[in-house]
Amino acid sequence: MKVSALETISLLLAPVLVSGSPSQNVTQVSIDLLDANHILHLLEVVDAYGHISVRNPDNESQFIMSFAIAPASATSQTLVTYDISNATPLHLTFNESVVGEDIPPSFSERFIHSQIYAAQPNVTSVIHSHTIEVLPFAAVGVGLRAQIGSAGSIGTLTNGTPIFDFNSVVPDDSDQLHDLFIRNPVLGDALSRTFEDGSDIVLMKGHGMAVRASSIREVTFRAFYTKRSAIVQTQALLLGGSGILPGLTEKQATDARTTNEAPGTRDRAWDLWVRQVDQTPLYVNDLRG
C-alpha cells in the first residue's frame, strides 16, 4: 500500500521507541531545542517560518534542527541530525533508522546554520527569524544598537548591527533565484562573514535576522530582546531621534549583557516561558512529558 507524504510525516510525528536511543547529552539539548521552538513562536519572534538549531554536544561536526515544519509543531520526531560540512540530513535524531529520502524535506535555509557553525566554532546555537520589528531597519540601511540592558548582545557598533544584503552576493542580472533564501553554502558563508565582533546579530535585508550564541537558552533570550530593543529604537526615532541612536554605552551594553545573560538571571525568563508553553495545548514537548 502506497503511503502519502502527509501520512509519512504524521507517522513520524507520533512518539516512537527506538533502540540505541540518543545520549543523555543529546536528549537534554533536544528538550531545550523543542522548548525554544515553542517559546519563539509564543513570543512572536517566529511565526509559521523561521528555525533554531543546536550543535550536537556529542559531535561538533553535526547540528540538530527540525525538518521543514512550523516551529510551534516541533516534537522529538521532527528533529534531524545534519552534517555541518554540507548541511546534509543524516537521520532523524530520535529514530536513526529513518535516513536518506525517508527523512521529510529539510529547511532550504539550513545553510545559514551549517555555515555559521563551520566558520565559528564557539557558536553552539543559531536562530533565523523573520521578526517584523527588525525588518524596517535593514530596509533603510540602519543597524540596531542596544537600547535596553537585556539586549546588550546587540552591541554598540558605530554603524549598528551589520546588515546582510542578498544582492551583494547574487546581483539582479544573475540567473539564480532571487527569493532571498540562503539556500547554498556560498550564501551561507557570505552571511556568516557578515557577523562582526561586538554584536551577535546580523540583520538580513528584506528577510529578517540571524542570531548566534553559546547555548539554546542564550540565543532564545537574545532573539527576543533584540525584538524588544528594536521596538524601543523605533519608538525613539518616532519621538524625534534620527539615524542610528546612541543607545547604551559600550560599557553599559557589556556589563548589562554579563548580568542579564548569566544563567541565574536569564533562566528566570526561560522558566516562565516554559511554564507558558506548557499551558498551551498547541505546543508538545514529548521529551519532557
For residue 38, give the DSSP letter. Answer: H
Instruction: Note the pLDDT of residue 289.
Output: 66
What average pLDDT does the segment 166-190 reach? Answer: 90
Confidence of residue 1 (pLDDT cuts 50, 70, 90): very low
Residue 105 CB-half CA count within 13 A: 8
- Bigger pLDDT: 210 vs 175: 210
- Bigger pLDDT: 40 vs 21: 40
Rounded CA-CA distance 224/30 in Å is 20
User: Position 226: which residue type?
Assistant: T
Q: What is the pLDDT of residues 86-102, one digit of tens each?
A: 999 999 999 999 999 99
What average pLDDT does the segment 161-173 reach? Answer: 91
Instruction: Note the pLDDT of residue 288.
Output: 85
Cell numbers at 225, concatenated: 530582546
Cell numbers at 274, concatenated: 516554559
Q: Where are the domains of the chain?
A: 20-278
Q: What is the largest CA-CA distance in the chain?
A: 66
Q: Is the pLDDT of residue 14 over 90?
A: no
Tell me which residues are annotated as active site. 109
Confidence of residue 246 (pLDDT cuts 50, 70, 90): confident
Contact assessment for residue 253 and residue 176, using Cβ atoms and an 8 Å cutoff = no
Looking at 3.30.930.10, 3.40.50.10680, 3.40.1360.10, 3.40.225.10, the CATH number of the domain 20-278 comes to 3.40.225.10
Residue whose C-alpha is closest to residue 217's, from 28, 60, 73: 28
Rounded CA-CA distance 286/276 in Å is 16
Beta strands in the chain (DSSP E): 51-55, 62-66, 79-83, 89-92, 95-99, 125-129, 163-164, 201-204, 208-213
